[in-house]
């Protein structure tokens, strides 16, 4: 499912415009990112938990200038809740 598919589905299922659905999705993602940056973890009941795994930055060198460039190695992990997994697995 793409972002556009999700926006269209949200608009049709809830009888709102695609612009409004896009705004809702955008706000949701913004808040998710803000909370992850601030606390490092976001839990959504009956869905799952997003967590930032922080690692020390590596440095690489930029070949033209031969200067070190810090490269972040943080990544986000997702752990689904049991209810979410049961819903997916109960086809």
Kindly report, residue by residue over 9-62, the tens digit of the pLDDT: 999 999 999 999 999 999 999 999 999 999 999 999 999 999 998 777 666 656
pTM of the model: 0.70
Q: How far is CA 83 from CA 10, 51, 59, 87, 91, in A?
A: 21, 19, 41, 6, 14
């Amino acid at each position: 499912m793409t972002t556009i598919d999700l926006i269209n589905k949200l608009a049709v299922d809830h009888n709102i415009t695609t612009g409004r659905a896009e705004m809702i999705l955008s706000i949701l993602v913004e808040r998710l990112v803000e909370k992850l940056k601030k606390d490092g973890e976001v839990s959504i009941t009956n869905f799952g938990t997003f967590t930032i795994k922080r690692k020390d930055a590596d440095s690489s060198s930029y070949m033209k200038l031969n200067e070190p460039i810090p490269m972040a190695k943080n990544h986000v992990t997702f752990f689904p809740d049991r209810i979410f997994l049961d819903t997916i697995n109960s086809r």
